[in-house]
Chains A and B, each alone.
Chain A
Amino acid sequence: MCGPIDYGAAALSIYRLSLIFAVAGSLTMWKMRHFVIQKTKHKMSVFAHEPSVNV
């Protein structure tokens, strides 16, 4: 071991890292919202024009 240990600091670090990733992920989703909406609309329009299947 290199120096003293502190499990509290390690737990706090893991918690803060997950917090950072959560914030970064949310910001990414927010930035890409137009792209996601556009893709979803395109997908829906494709389904709307799909010919009905005769069974």
Chain B
Amino acid sequence: MENKREIILPAAVGIVGAVVFLFAFPGLAIPTIMHEILKLPSPGTGFGFIIGPFIIMCSLVAYGLIKKHGTAVITSTILAIFMPLIIFIFNLQMPKPGKFGSIEFIIGVIILGAALELVIYLLREKGISKTIKYIISAVVADIIFLAYSMLFIFSQTVPDKYVQLTINKILIIAGVSAAGAVIIGGLLPLLILKIIKFK
């Protein structure tokens, strides 16, 4: 019974996360908000500031509920599988440069979950507080996801923008991504867990 819960709960969190994400960011909302409204450099800011931290948030909420190693990978994998499935079923329009639902995207999300899991495992010592543990694992996993998306997704979809990347632009994208990872990926799951466990 306990094993079933360890699979069903992360799967449910992954599915709900995919539905909420696609509901909250329809069509070309992410590139428009990131590059037109906030005037942040491209490519990769949407991946680093919104998509990566959101997936991390779902994975850490599931991990916080079950507290078993492997939960973050299961959650991110389920989310990576269900997101393209929902896009395909409802024929949703998504930003082309991000290759949503492609094999590269799914692999990226699984790598993100694996990186998150690895950092959580490495920081399992009792001395580190939960907040610091969540923040460090979120930032590291998000930066790895950002680097992967730059190298394997945006270098193919927007090669002209990829070539124009300068050190300054990379630092801004990485900084914005780290801020997103701290707030959305590290602190928000702690708040959600606190509310869920509140009695």
A residues lining the B interface (CB < 8 Å) = 1-10, 12-14, 16-17, 20, 28, 31-32, 35
Contact = CB atoms under 8 A, between A and B. Distances in A.
B25 A1 contact: no
Instruction: Label chain A's interface by main secondary structure.
Output: helix
A32 B195 CA distance: 8
Contacts of B195: 28, 31-32
Nearest to B194: A28
A32 B46 CA distance: 34
Contacts of B24: 13, 16-17, 20
A10 B198 contact: no
5 contacts: A2-B43, A6-B28, A6-B29, A6-B32, A35-B198
Q: Which 3 A-B pairs have the closest CB atoms?
A: A2-B42, A13-B29, A9-B27
Interface in B89-125: 95-97
A2 B97 contact: yes
B158 interface: yes
A10 B29 contact: yes
B20 A3 contact: no
A5 B198 contact: no
B85 interface: no
B42 A7 contact: no
Interface string B39-60: 0001100100000000000000
